[in-house]
Amino acid sequence: MLRTALHLSHFAAMVVFALLVSIVLAGLARRTAAERIRYALWTLMMFLLVGVGIAWLMYPFSR
């Protein structure tokens, strides 16, 4: 049982989410291991860039 809750920062939660989803997308979209690793890294980078970019754009409206 998880007696204690996981305490992840917003960024860490985003990284974990992006990493796991990137691995799935790479597994579905590419056939070989090398292609999958390249695709997963590319997707992970895009997730993080777009996530941080949207956060940066929304920052002026956060208060």
Partner 1 sequence: MASEAPLTENSRKVNPARPIFIAFAAWVVPGLGHLLLKRWGRALIFFLAAGGLAVVGYGMRGEVFTPLSSDPFGALGFLADICAGVFYFLPRFLEASGPDISRAAGDYGTRFIAAAGIVNLLGVLDAYAIASRRRS
How does DSSP assign 19-50, residue by residue? Answer: HHHHHHHHHHH--SHHHHHHHHHHHHHHHHHH
* 10 interacts with partner 1 by CB under 8 A: yes
> For residue 50, how many C-alpha atoms fall within 13 Å in the half-sphere facing its CB?
7
For residue 11, the minimal CB distance to partner 1 (Å) is 11
Q: Does residue number 8 form part of the binding site for partner 1 (CB under 8 A)?
A: yes
| 11 binding partner 1? (CB under 8 A) | no
Residue 60 in tokens: 């002026």
Which position among 11, 28, 39, 52 is part of the footprint of partner 1 (CB under 8 A)?
Answer: 28
Binding of partner 1 at residue 16 (CB under 8 A)? yes
